[in-house]
Structures are given as structure tokens and as C-alpha cells.
Amino acid sequence: MKNKGRFPLQVGMVLAGSAALIAFPLVQYGTPEIVWAVAAGALLSTVNVLLGYVAIEYSFEKSYTTFVKAVLGGMGLRMAAMLAALTALIVFGGMHAVALTVSVMGFYAVYLVMEIVFIQRKVSLKNRE
């Protein structure tokens, strides 16, 4: 498909745009602990959505059963890994819990919408072929 590789670029643009928007207020009014927690949360959510992209690309042309297992099963595994990473960063890493959690959830919500639109567009393009 002609759009292959476009989604990671869009994720990068959202990450860069978000960083540009929140950099000044975050550095000006936040403590270094909060800045690090927000950055870690953004990174964690970005890795999560890129792993989702890999699962979608891997399984899209395969059978429906394989697609559902890879995407939904992969989502369950990714969510469990994110929970473990959040717990480890808060308990063992001493990260600011609220800043980390809000950052993860904020980026996760935006990326989830992007992921749903990406799947919908892929299905729509496939149905036109």
C-alpha cells in the first residue's frame, strides 16, 4: 500500500508537536522530577503505539483469526507491560506518579484514536481493491 510507513511518521509528528506545546510551561513551572516523569510517560506510550502498529502491519493480510489474536491479544500484552513499567517506574524508579500517569494516559488517548483511524483507513483501502 502507498501509505506504508506513514503512521510512524504521524506518531513522531504528534510527539514532536506535543513536546513543542508543553515544553515551555513544563520546564518553567514543573520540577525536574515532573519533567522526567512526563518524558518517560510520553516515551512509554509512544513505544506502545508503535508496537501496536507492528502488530497491525504483521497481521493485516493474514486471516481474521490471526489478525484478532495479534491485535487484541497484543493489546492485552502491551497493556500488561505498560502497567508493569508504570509500577516499576513509580515504585523502584521513584518517578512522580501523577505526572507519569497523566502523561501516559494523555498520549495513550491520542495515540489510540490515531490507531483506530489507521486501522479503519487500511480496511477501507483494502475493500476498494
pLDDT, tens digit, for every residue of 61-102? 888 898 888 888 999 999 999 999 999 999 999 999 999 999
Rounded distance, CA 98 to CA 48, Å? Answer: 19
Share of the chain above pLDDT 90, in %: 76
Q: Is the entire prediction scored with pTM above 0.75?
A: yes
Average pLDDT, the chain: 93
pLDDT of residue 3: 60
Interior angle at CA 105, CA 70 and CA 28, nearest 5: 140
**Closest by alpha carbon to 120, among 71, 69, 82?**
71
At 44-60, the pLDDT tens digits run: 999 999 999 999 999 98
